[in-house]
Amino acid sequence: MLGLWDTETLQPGREHVTIAVSGARGGHTVDFRRLALEGMVLTGLTHAFDGHTVRFAQDLNDNLDRGDANYLAVLDAADAWIERNGIDLPLEPQARERVADAACITDPLHELDLAAAGVNAIIWATGYATDYSWLEVDTFKDNGKPQHQRGVGQEPGI
C-alpha cells in the first residue's frame, strides 16, 4: 500500500535494512534493544575468529540506529498513508517507544574467549552475502552489484 516495493531506485544507505517482525502475539515487532534488556547479548558484526577468540566490529550501535531509523521511517510512511486516506485506526504510541540501552549496547563486547565463556557450540545464522564475480559481463556498479532497473539488467539475459 505504501508503494515501497515499486520504487525505481533504492535510497542510499537503505539497500538492505529490514524491519524485524514476527507473527508472534498478533504481529509482534522484534525489538533488539528490548531483547538485550531481557538478557540477550548483542554484538557487532563478527570481525575475526582465531579458533579460540571471536572479535567483533564496533558497529553495533550504528546497526541498531540504522535499523531504528528504517523502522521509524516505515511507521511515518504508514501514518501518512492512513491520514491521506482518512482511515480510522487507533494510534499506537508504544510502537515508537525506545527502551533504555542494556549494558551490551552501552559497553559492547570487543572480543570473547569462547572457552572462558563456556561456549562449546556456535550456530552461525547471519545470512549470506551475494557474489556476482562468476558473471562475465560488464554491468557492475562500483560496489560489485549488477546495475539493473527493477531487476532487469543492462545486458541481454541479465
Q: Domain boundaries in the chain?
A: 4-116, 129-158
**What is the secondary structure of the chain as a DSSP string?**
---GGG-SSPPTT-TT----B-SGGGT-B--HHHHHHTT------EEEE-SSEEEE-S-HHHHHHHHHHHHHHHHHHHHHHHHHTT------GGGG--PPPPHHHHS--SEEETTTTT--------------TT--SS-B-TTSPBPEETTEESSTT-
- Name the residue with higher pLDDT: 57 or 151: 57
Residue 54: band (very low, low, confident or very high) from pLDDT cuts 50, 70, 90: very high
Chain mean position to CA 39 = 20
Span 38-53, pLDDT tens digits: 999 999 998 899 989 9
Span 115-148, pLDDT tens digits: 999 998 887 776 677 778 788 888 888 877 888 7
